[in-house]
Amino acid sequence: MCAVDVRPAIGTERLVLRGLVPGDAPAMAELAGDFDVAAMTARIPHPYALSDAEWFVGYTQGRDPRREVNFAIEHRQLGVMGVLGFDGTDPRRPEVGYWLGRPFWGRGYASEALKAAMVWARGDWGRNAVWAGHFADNRASAGVLVKAGFLYTGDVEQRFSVARDEAVATRMMVWLA
């Protein structure tokens, strides 16, 4: 019997965005286990254990790719460095979110990954608009979103951060194809 991997993959000069596999969980747990990483996301708990990463990888493998797609962000030489995902549960307002481990901050990797993912979202995923938000205290993520072509909507929502255990002011943005 022959199995075909139908998960999407995106390549850039330095990165590959591909479906998550069980072998990614240890790196994910180590990188997302950093409070400063988890605290800039809505859904990552702190502490973030290997079992949390294993659960998430399993969860992603059972999702309908027309509604939700998650990518490991992998450096071609350095390995898994983070995760980027699209949630299209509400087809009128699909959202993108991402995180990178601290060792990879400030090197342009998030911008490179997001720009490539948005090309994929327009083409393969067929989306003409994608929303995103960044916590108001996360200037780095604001810069990543702006570089990828996102525009501020003027809306600020209170979004709960599991790691912080509190609602955080979140500046909303939209990308239009």
In angstroms and rounded to an integer, the radius of gyration of the C-alpha atoms of the chain is: 15
What does the buried/exposed string (b/e) look like for 33-59 if buried means 16 or more CB atoms within 10 Å of the residue's CB? bbeebbbbbbebebebeeebbbebbee
- Taking each continuous run of H as one helix and of E as one strand, the counts in the chain are 5, 8
Cα-based angle 8, 115, 130 (whole degrees, multiple of 5): 80
Domains and CATH numbers, the chain: 9-176 (3.40.630.30)
Percentage of the chain exceeding pLDDT 90: 91
Flag whether pLDDT at 44 surpasses 60: yes
Neighbouring CB atoms inside 10 A of 84's CB total 22
Flag whether pLDDT at 3 surpasses 50: no
Kindly indicate the confidence band of residue 4, based on its pLDDT and cuts at 50, 70 and 90: very low
Q: Which of 177, 108, 175 is nearest to 146 (CA)?
A: 175
Rounded-to-integer distance, Cα 134 and Cα 40, Å: 8
Flag whether pLDDT at 6 surpasses 90: no
* pLDDT tens, position by position, 102-123: 999 999 999 999 999 999 999 9
Flag whether pLDDT at 130 surpasses 70: yes
- Answer yes or no: are the C-beta atoms of 153 and 172 closer than 8 Å: yes
Strand bridging mode 9-11 / 15-19: antiparallel
- The beta strands (E) that lie in the chain are given as 9-11, 15-19, 68-75, 79-87, 95-100, 129-135, 151-161, 166-176
**H or E element, residue 116:** helix 109-123
Rounded-to-integer distance, Cα 39 and Cα 56, Å: 17
pLDDT for the residue 7: 57
Kindly indicate the confidence band of residue 154, based on its pLDDT and cuts at 50, 70 and 90: very high
Flag whether pLDDT at 96 surpasses 60: yes
Percentage of the chain exceeding pLDDT 70: 95
* pLDDT tens, position by position, 62-93: 899 989 999 999 999 999 999 999 999 898 99
143: left (phi over 0), alpha (psi -120 to 50) or beta: alpha
Counting beta carbons within 10 angstroms of the beta carbon of residue 115, is it exposed (0 to 12), middle (13 to 18) or buried (19 or more)? middle
How confident is the model over 1-22, as a mean pLDDT? 78
